[in-house]
Amino acid sequence: MKKSIILSFVLVVAIGFTAFSPQEKKGAKTTDAGKGKATQLSYKKDIAPILKKYCLPCHTEDMMNPSELYLDSYENIMAGGKHGKPIIVGKPDSSNLIKKISLKPPFGDPMPLKRKTEFPADTLKILKAWIEHGAKNN
């Protein structure tokens, strides 16, 4: 009799374990996917549209921007402006492109200049992640 009690206890534990473990695995997968997305950020698909929307009204050669920084192509971004290269690959917090979006930039005014609404935090995260993961031209 005792044996069967122990046996059913083991069975319950085993069922409980199998019921729980897929959920844990699922959780792990989601975080992996999240990481994967950051490393897969594409300049063309993710970054260029952000710069176009928020920065290109001013940062093109036609606009004669005093910063001499043009954000309309990967080559122009990397070439930099008056204060040198705006991107330090792998170091978003040291990159002027990110620093200038903060409310207290190291020089000049916060970007985007004359903004009417706050620069969205999610969008800033995407720019940071792209720089952190190598600022690739992909």
- Report the chain's terminal Cα–Cα distance, integer Å: 68
Contact 107, 83 (CB under 8 A): yes
Shortest distance, position 134 Cβ to ligand HEC, whole Å: 18
Of residues 38 and 119, the one with the C-beta less far from ligand HEC: 119
In the numeric block, which tokens belong to residue 64? 């004669």
Of residues 21 and 102, the one with the C-beta less far from ligand HEC: 102
The footprint of ligand HEC (CB under 6 A) covers: 54-55, 57-59, 65-67, 69, 81-83, 86, 96-97, 100-101, 107-109, 111-114
Length of the chain: 138
Shortest distance, position 38 Cβ to ligand HEC, whole Å: 19
Shortest distance, position 129 Cβ to ligand HEC, whole Å: 15
In the numeric block, which tokens belong to residue 99? 């620093």
